[in-house]
Amino acid sequence: ALLASGAQWGGETAAHVLDKHLRPAGTIVYAREVPQRLVLENRLRKAQGIGDVEIREKFWSFEQANQLIVPTPLIYADLMASADPRQIEQAQRLREADELLRRIDRD
């Protein structure tokens, strides 16, 4: 349902796809519009406050064919923005392991 709608995982869930060290407590989905099939299949409903799933607008214009997760710099940003110590630790693990993030550090 995620790929069919052009949506992608971000945040903790994307980090978990890359490295099983962090078990996600919540997830971020990036999509151009609300992925109705994903909502229906998972019986998602609007939270009254903070929910477990956050749907954000997919703001970049380049396409990644059949990619389940967002680009690693965005995963890193999502983790760091959380201010959750376990997510920040995972962000550091990602930064050390990911070639693109290491290349950004060098430039």
CA distances to 33, 46, 61, 89, 91 from 81, rounded to whole Å, are: 23, 22, 22, 12, 10
Structural contact between residues 22 and 82, judged by C-beta atoms closer than 8 angstroms: no
pLDDT number for residue 105? 80
The CA distance from 23 to 39, in Å, is 22
pLDDT of 12 over the 90 cut: yes
**Averaged pLDDT for residues 45-74:** 82
Q: CA 62, CA 84: separation in Å to the nearest integer?
A: 30
**The tokens of 69 are what?**
């997760």
* 105 against 30, higher pLDDT: 30
Phi, psi values for residue 79, rounded to 5°: -65, -45
